[in-house]
């Protein structure tokens, strides 16, 4: 693969594939070399998956479906299947696919409903659509006859080759031939939603399509719930249904492709194998799926926006998750590396493909290449992805003991149990003979041997009970130690948590208190600054005004002195010239009074300004007092929150005290266990030193009766209290008491 546009980096890339088909390859040759083997495996009971991958406008849909003149692999596969089952086709509709691998037996009413659904679906096509599909099916029969697949030296059946088991070889116990029923479905994954392409769309614009859910059956296999399965009896019907699904599929025009697929479409063919008898039952189910993946694209090249941009994002995301799954499968094949998680459930597409990737069927990946130089980067990414997929080794799991055949369910979904009438009771294994062979006849033993056997059994019973008692004590001790350790860990964890809570709450409260203090200080400072800015007078102007006031006051005092002197002179003289002096003095007094009035007005003005400044300062002080009250209210709330937190801490301390009491209780229980163990040792020592008395020889039945009577009548030991629920020590005391009695 060469890069003709760029002059830097690696110019040639080499990739390896299972088979490479050039542009001159015909559809027939491509089908023979890629899909034919998977179709053969499908009719033999192996599930198959064929999916195309590539950039947009690379020919994926053409490879799957083709045209009316040049058919794709899907119509050829359909024709191959119907040609193979010709003459052995089951024409009724009373057996329908159910869930992932089961079959549902339909009632007569349900069969009529299926026939009505199929008739309505085929009738939805217009006359010209029917004519086109008829031409397509005629072309199918012309091009895909068995003579076109094989040469003159080969058999007429395209599937009759070496190592291929035809459908006739699957026979029942009655040596009857098998029949086959074909069901198909067609769905798409659009914007990570699953839609059924065979459902009848409503004519109203407001009604949306129904979204289907992906579920899992009891075996963990994924299936699409409520997906329509249509019974088909010929290639013509299948091509009509394919045409109907293509009409409902999501297509759009982009810069790179006029008919760009905006969804992943999945066309599934499910083949049911039935017995050829009056009451047929299912022998097997196989499925062949064709997935036409939407092409990966870059938005700057396709000029996508709006809905097209959303569609491209979902398409690229699902393809990216598919690449992650294949890369994880390749990594897990290496035994030296740690197995990684395979993200099958992150996308609807990979969730449906999971069985094929996990060895429950064959999978074939067809990589389509767009040779245009403008798509070099996207094509290179596709080739790298396909190179990783080529390295994945697919292992088909055999149908071993863990394989369960398809389950047959009734119309209500409940399984139908079938019994083989040819099976007889003689075929069952004789369990009575095996059980009698294992029993031992004790009547052939002598009396001494019976006594020895009884003594040995008693010793074994005593030893077993002692071992059980020791084991129980050991287990109780370990459980007590483990519980005590857990309590200590819990106490430590709670104490650490309480300390952390205390520290965090204290830090939070301190930070909030500091924040409030800083906010109050900042607010007061800002208010003071605003007041100062409003009533700010420079010091030079204030000094100048003050000097003017002082000069005026000195002038007023000087004029008052002059006025007093003049008045004294007038009183002292009393002469005729007093009128003249009075006139002159009056003139001077008028001038002095005017100057004094002007000075008084200036002083009054200054006093007024000072009073206004005092009033504004009082208002600012009042606002500061209100702000201080709000801060006090906030501080009060913080104090209440602090008290509440202290109460919480006190409750936690009480819980810690309860945990400590439990720890003390555990210590007391441990001391009780140790005392019981000491008593057990003392009992054992006492029983070991007790001399054995000679037992009278009696018959076997009398001896066993006395043993049972002594065991039942002996009371329980006093060493066990009601609080300790221990049944084994009481049995030990019973045995010792019986031994002493004998």
Mapped to the 3 state alphabet, what secondary structure does 160-180 carry?
A: CCCCCCCHHHCCCCCCCCEEE
Is pLDDT of 427 > 50?
A: no
8 Å CB contact between 365 and 353:
no
pLDDT band at 254 (very low <50, low <70, confident <90, very high): low
Is pLDDT of 433 > 50?
A: no
Write out the H or E segment, with its range, that includes residue 705: helix 700-713
List the binding residues for ATP.
Answer: 54-61
8 Å CB contact between 310 and 193:
no
Residue range 546-557, pLDDT digits in tens: 788 888 888 888
Cβ burial, residue 680 (10 Å; 0-12/13-18/19+): middle
Residue range 484-516, pLDDT digits in tens: 999 999 989 998 989 999 888 888 888 888 888
Nearest-angstrom CA–CA distance, 277 and 283: 12
Q: Is the dihedral of CA 570, 575, 579, 584 positive or negative?
A: negative
Structure tokens given for 673: 């266990």
Label the pairing between strands 264-275 and 282-292: antiparallel
Is pLDDT of 77 > 90?
A: yes
Is pLDDT of 289 > 80?
A: yes
Please report, to the nearest 10 degrees, the dihedral formed by the alpha carbons of residues 622, 625, 629, 635 taken in order: 150
**Strand ranges in 276-405 using DSSP code E only, listed in sequence order:** 282-292, 362-368
pLDDT given at position 156: 33
Average predicted confidence (pLDDT) for the chain: 75
b/e per residue, 610-642, with b = 16+ CB within 10 A? eeeeeeeeeebeeeeeeeeeebeeeeeeeeeee
Q: Which residues contact 426 (CB under 8 A, 6 or more apart)?
A: none
Residue range 267-284, pLDDT digits in tens: 999 999 888 767 777 888
Q: Which residues contact 54 (CB under 8 A, 6 or more apart)?
A: 60, 295, 296, 367, 368, 369, 370, 379, 382
Looking at residues 457-467, what average pLDDT do you find?
Answer: 90
Map out the domains of the chain as residue ranges.
Answer: 27-409, 466-689, 697-742
pLDDT band at 49 (very low <50, low <70, confident <90, very high): very high
Cβ burial, residue 732 (10 Å; 0-12/13-18/19+): buried
Is pLDDT of 575 > 70?
A: no
Q: Does the predicted model carry a pTM greater than 0.75?
A: no
pLDDT given at position 735: 38
pLDDT given at position 18: 84
8 Å CB contact between 199 and 185:
no
Is pLDDT of 710 > 60?
A: no
pLDDT given at position 709: 55
Nearest-angstrom CA–CA distance, 174 and 283: 14
Among candidate residues 381, 365, 350, 305, the one with its CA nearest the CA of residue 56:
381
pLDDT band at 252 (very low <50, low <70, confident <90, very high): low
Please give the CATH architecture assigned to the domain spanning 27-409: 3-Layer(aba) Sandwich (3.40)
Out of 160-164, 333-337, 648-652, which region has the weakest mean confidence (pLDDT)? 160-164
Q: Is the model more confident about 132 or about 235?
A: 235
Looking at residues 242-270, what average pLDDT do you find?
Answer: 78
Residue range 208-233, pLDDT digits in tens: 888 999 998 877 888 999 899 999 98
pLDDT band at 118 (very low <50, low <70, confident <90, very high): confident
List the binding residues.
Answer: 54-61
């Amino acid at each position: 693969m060469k890069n003709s546009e760029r002059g830097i980096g690696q110019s040639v890339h080499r990739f390896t594939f299972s088979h490479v088909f050039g542009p001159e390859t015909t559809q027939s040759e491509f089908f023979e070399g890629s899909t034919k083997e998977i179709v053969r495996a499908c009719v033999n009971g192996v599930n198959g998956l064929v999916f195309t991958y590539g950039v947009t406008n690379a020919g994926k849909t053409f490879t799957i479906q083709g045209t009316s003149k040049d058919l794709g692999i899907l119509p050829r596969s359909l024709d191959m299947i119907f040609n193979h089952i010709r003459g052995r086709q089951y024409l009724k509709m009373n057996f329908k696919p159910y869930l992932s691998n089961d079959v549902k037996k339909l009632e007569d009413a349900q069969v009529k409903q299926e026939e009505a659904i199929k008739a309505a679906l085929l009738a939805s096509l217009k006359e010209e659509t029917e004519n086109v599909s008829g031409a397509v099916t005629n072309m199918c029969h012309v091009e895909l006859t068995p003579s076109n697949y094989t040469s003159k030296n080969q058999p007429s059946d395209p599937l009759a080759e070496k190592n291929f088991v035809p459908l006739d070889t699957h026979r029942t116990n009655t040596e009857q031939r098998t029949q086959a029923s074909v069901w198909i479905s067609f769905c798409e994954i659009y914007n990570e939603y699953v839609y059924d392409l065979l459902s009848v769309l409503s004519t109203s614009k407001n009604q949306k399509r129904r979204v289907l859910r992906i579920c899992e059956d009891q075996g963990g296999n994924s299936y699409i719930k409520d997906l329509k399965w249509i019974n088909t009896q010929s290639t013509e019907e299948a091509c009509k249904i394919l045409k109907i699904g293509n009409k409902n599929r999501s297509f759009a025009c982009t810069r790179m492709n006029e008919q760009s697929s905006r969804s992943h479409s999945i066309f599934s063919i499910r083949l049911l194998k039935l017995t050829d008898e009056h009451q047929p039952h299912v022998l097997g189910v196989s499925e062949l799926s064709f997935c036409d993946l939407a092409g990966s694209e870059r938005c700057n090249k396709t000029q996508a926006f709006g809905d097209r941009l959303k569609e491209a994002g979902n398409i690229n995301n699902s393809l990216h998750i598919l690449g992650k799954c294949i890369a994880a499968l390749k990594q897990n094949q290496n035994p030296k590396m740690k197995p990684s998680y395979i993200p099958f459930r992150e996308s609807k597409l990979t969730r449906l493909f999971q069985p094929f990737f996990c060895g429950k069927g064959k999978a074939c990946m067809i990589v389509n290449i767009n040779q245009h130089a403008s798509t070099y980067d996207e094509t290179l990414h596709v080739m790298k992805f396909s190179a990783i997929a080529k390295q994945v080794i697919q292992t088909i799991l055999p149908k071993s003991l863990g394989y369960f055949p398809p389950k047959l369910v009734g119309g209500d979904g409940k399984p139908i149990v079938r019994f083989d009438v040819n099976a007889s009771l003689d075929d069952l294994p004789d369990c009575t003979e095996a059980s009698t062979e294992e029993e031992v006849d004790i009547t052939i033993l002598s009396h001494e041997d019976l006594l020895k056997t009884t003594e040995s059994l008693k010793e074994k019973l005593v030893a077993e009970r002692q071992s059980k008692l020791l084991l129980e004590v050991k287990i109780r001790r370990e459980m007590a130690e483990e519980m005590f350790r857990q309590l200590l860990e819990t106490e430590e964890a709670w104490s650490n948590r309480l300390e952390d809570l205390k520290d965090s709450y204290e830090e939070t409260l301190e930070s909030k208190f500091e924040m409030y203090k800083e906010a109050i200080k900042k607010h007061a400072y800002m208010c003071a600054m605003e007041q100062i800015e409003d009533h700010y007078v420079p010091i030079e102007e204030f000094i100048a005004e003050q000097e003017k006031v002082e000069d005026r006051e000195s002038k007023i005092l000087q004029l008052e002195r002059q006025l007093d002197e003049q008045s004294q002179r007038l009183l002292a003289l009393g002469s005729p010239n007093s009128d003249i002096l009075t006139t002159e003095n009056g003139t001077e007094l008028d001038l002095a009074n005017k100057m004094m009035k002007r000075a008084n007005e200036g002083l009054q003005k200054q006093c007024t300004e000072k009073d206004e400044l005092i009033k504004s300062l009082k208002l600012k002080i009042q606002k500061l007092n209100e702000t201080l009250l709000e801060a006090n209210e906030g501080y009060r709330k913080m104090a209440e929150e602090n008290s509440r937190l202290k109460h919480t801490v006190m409750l936690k301390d009480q819980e810690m005290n309860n945990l400590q009491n439990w720890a003390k209780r555990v210590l007391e229980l441990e001391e009780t266990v140790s005392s019981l163990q000491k008593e057990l040792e003392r009992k054992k020592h006492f029983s070991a030193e007790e001399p054995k008395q000679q037992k009278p020889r009696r018959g076997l039945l009398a001896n066993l009766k006395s043993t049972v009577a002594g065991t039942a009548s002996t009371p329980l030991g006093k060493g066990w209290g009601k609080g300790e629920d221990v049944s084994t020590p009481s049995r030990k005391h019973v045995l010792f008491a019986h031994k002493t009695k004998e």
